[in-house]
Structure 1
Amino acid sequence: MDLDRTRPLWRQIAAEIIRRIKSGTYPPGSRVPSTLEIAQEFGVVNATAAKAMRHVREQG
């Protein structure tokens, strides 16, 4: 995923995680990566990854 520096990173990461859930990359009942794993994958600080994951949870 190429990050767009004009949009908040947490929103882009959240959108990517939601896309992966919908596409079956993370099927029902599977484990979604931890905040630390997401931070490492996307090269962001833990707070950004945590905000993205909070948004994913809020979206259901």
Structure 2
Amino acid sequence: MDEELDRTKAVWRQAAQIVADRIKSGTYPPGSRVPSTLELATELGIASSTAQKALSYLRREGWLRGETGIGTFVADKPPME
């Protein structure tokens, strides 16, 4: 893990920002699979419910799309705000 989380701020927002930054940098290009809730939780050292909240937020905001039973993927045209 190369990210340090600030435990005084909403951890789910920080996790969402880390994933969004990886999308913006091309680490996760459009159409690529992003880590599962469990993988993200393990990598960042956070609760899986917190990772789920971060990924759900990114889906609602248009960064990610979920495919039931397959995984979560970067949207074809993420917002790149």
TM-score (norm 1): 0.93
Which residue does the alignment assign to 1:32?
34
Structure 2 regions of 5+ residues with no counterpart?
A: 63-81
Runs of 4+ residues over 4 Å off in structure 1: none
Number of residues paired by the alignment?
Answer: 60
Structure showing greater relative contact order (alpha-carbon pairs closer than 8 Å, 6 or more residues apart): 1
Q: TM-score, normalised by structure 2?
A: 0.71
The residue type equivalent to 2:31 in the other structure is G
What is aligned with 1:2?
4
Match of 1:13 among 12, 15, 24: 15
Return the offset for 1:44. Answer: 1.1
Greater helix content: 1
Matched residues in 1 for 2:5 and 2:48: separation? 17
* Identical positions, percent: 58
CA RMSD of aligned residues (A): 0.7
Unpaired segments ≥5 residues, structure 1: none
Which structure: greater strand fraction? 2
Tell whether 2:60 aligns with 1:58. Answer: yes
